[in-house]
Every structure is written in C-alpha cells, then in structure tokens.
Amino acid sequence: MSSEPERRHLEVPAEAEGERIDRFLASQLENLSRSRIQALIKAGYVRNRRGTIEDPGLRVKPGDAFVVDLPPPEPAEPQPESIPLKVVWEDDDLIVIDKPADLVVHPAAGHASGTLVNALIAHCGESLSGIGGVQRPGIVHRLDKGTSGLLVVAKNDFAHQALAQQFASHGADGRLERAYLAFVWGQLDRPQGIIEAPLGRSTKDRTKMAVVREGFGRRAVTHYKVIETYPEAEGRAVAVSQVKAILETGRTHQIRVHFAHIGHPLLADTTYGSGFAASARKLSPEAQAALKALGRQALHATLLGFEHPRTGKKLRFESPLPPELAALRDALRGATDPRVLKRS
C-alpha cells in the first residue's frame, strides 16, 4: 500500500451554496463519513486557495475549490491472521460471514488474537479502505463467541455508517431483519408470544446481563414462535422446545436472558441456565451425548436481512443449523421418533 496521501480536487457547484464544508465534502467523498471528514479538516488535510481550512462549519460558495489529501489508512492494531471463513456474500462495501460458534468477533481481554477481526484483516486486505482512518473492518453488530450464524461487517466508512443506522433502528423502519433458532428447556405456555423486559448489567455479576426494573435498564423485546417440541425419554412431557426468536431490539445477551427470565433457559447456557443442568437426565442417552458434545449455548443466527448501503437493494441470507446443533436436534427427535410432539 502506498504511503502517499490520495489527493482530491473538488469545486463547489451552485446548488451547494451555503452548505457546511464538512457536509459538502461528505457528499462528494462517498466512502467517508461526515465525522471522518471533520477529523481530516481538524488535522489540516483540507485547504483552499487561501490556505488550510480549520473550521468544519465553514460555509461554501459556488466556485470555491478545495484540495483534500486523504491519508492512507493506518495499519490496524489487530494483526492479520489466516483463519478460515465461510463467506456468504462479499463486495466492495461489505462482507457477510456465517460465523462458527468458537470464533470471537473482536479482540478483547483474553482474546487478543484468533478473532473474526484478525481473520477479516487477512481476508479483505487492500479492500478495507478504513473505518475512521484505520484499516480495519467495521463491526456493526456482534454475536457471542458461543453463538453461531450470520453477521455483516462493513469495509469502509460509508457502509459502516449506513449499516449502523439500520441496526440502530432494530428493524422498526423495515430495513433490518434478524431471526435466531434456539433450543430451550421445557414447554412454553403459548406457541408464540412476546417477551418484553428491560435489560441492564447484573448488580451481582457485572459480566452478566439481567432483567431489571422499569427505568433502570434498556427496553428489550423478543418475539418468539415454537418450531418443534421434544418429549422426555420416558413419558410425554416436553423436555425441550426449538423456538424461532425475532429481535425487536438488540441488547447484549438478549435472547439468552429473556428465555431464562421466563423459566426456559437455552440448553448448554452455563451463564444463564446453570440451574437446569440436571434436566439433561430426562433426555435419551443419545440426546445427552449430543448436548454434552455441543459445548456452547444452543443458539444460531439463522436469518439476516438488510438494505445494501450503496445500492439500496434488499439482501436476505439464511443459514441452516450447523452440524453440532443439527446433531442435537436429530438426537432429540430420535428419542421417541416419530413421536415428536410438534413440527411446523
């Protein structure tokens, strides 16, 4: 990669009269956000015939000419690592990954390397034009290490800003669609419903989230539908339910906390469902073995839909259950097959 800045010459048209310079430049430099333009102005990378521009709020006039020096993205602090990725879509603006359950999304304490970000830096290479001036992928949403499934990542400021706006609305404007498949303990009261309970940090353990009193946390809403139920190995009582969960909001650990809150925690969720470990004894030996082999919460991001930040085209991706969750489902079905209590 060249260490020389890319130089852009821009002239103000009549229709842009009176615009702030940061807004005007952001409209002309399509891969840069307005905040990034403001940072470039403050760092002295924008000038006109009279000299360096220092005020991002300067009003432009028709015929004004500006020179913008775009410094090359700084090398990302995380180092590139050759980690296999299942790529389901990729273009110049974004990449969609089907993440395995054992992959951490972003470097953090205890996970300085071996993350999705490390893998993407290696995979995307020069196609990363930089987020905030740093050559790194733009993470707009995350999946827990123990959750598998679909995740979209931005390659440049333009895509990062546009995708972040969609995720901030959580689908309220119809652009974003997200659904998960989960296996939970027991039989839910209704075949479909809504869990609405505010979430905040647990006062007993700051690494965990918890349902909190109204006014003390953030609004959190999960819609669910029961897909299939599985009986105990001995008897007709429901031991496990497979549910489809659709997020109206996207809070940390939302699905896991919400189902634990209503008394149906996810299988193998040692953080929020440890009290149900003994329930495994009600399963067939085959299902117990599949559950033990799972080694992570039974949650998969199966559906992701959003509007492409540049073209406006609706993109929609689906991911089937990964092998370890499919093995669990098949073992649960096989306990008394064909007497699975419900399928849809």
Supply the residues annotated as catalytic: 144
Count the Cβ atoms, other than its own, within 10 Å of residue 169.
Answer: 11
User: Residue 202, class by beta-carbon neighbours within 10 Å (0-12 exposed, 13-18 middle, 19+ buried)?
Assistant: middle
Count the Cβ atoms, other than its own, within 10 Å of residue 27.
Answer: 13
DSSP reduced 3-state for 51: strand
**Distant-in-sequence, close-in-space partners of 5: CB < 8 Å, separation ≥ 6:** 45, 69, 70, 71, 72
Place of tokens 């089937």: 320
Count the Cβ atoms, other than its own, within 10 Å of residue 36.
Answer: 24
Count the Cβ atoms, other than its own, within 10 Å of residue 303.
Answer: 18
For β-strands 134-135 and 74-75, DSSP reports them as parallel
Place of tokens 């939970």: 184
Residue 243 β-bridge partners? 182, 226
Q: How many angstroms from the chain centroid is the CA of residue 92?
A: 19
**Distant-in-sequence, close-in-space partners of 121: CB < 8 Å, separation ≥ 6:** 76, 78, 79, 80, 81, 128, 135, 136, 137
Distances (CA, A) of 26 to 14, 61, 168, 281, 292: 17, 16, 21, 60, 52
Distance CA 339, CA 238 (A): 11
Strands (DSSP E) found in 12-100: 46-48, 51-52, 65-70, 74-75, 87-90, 94-99
Distance CA 265, CA 186 (A): 9
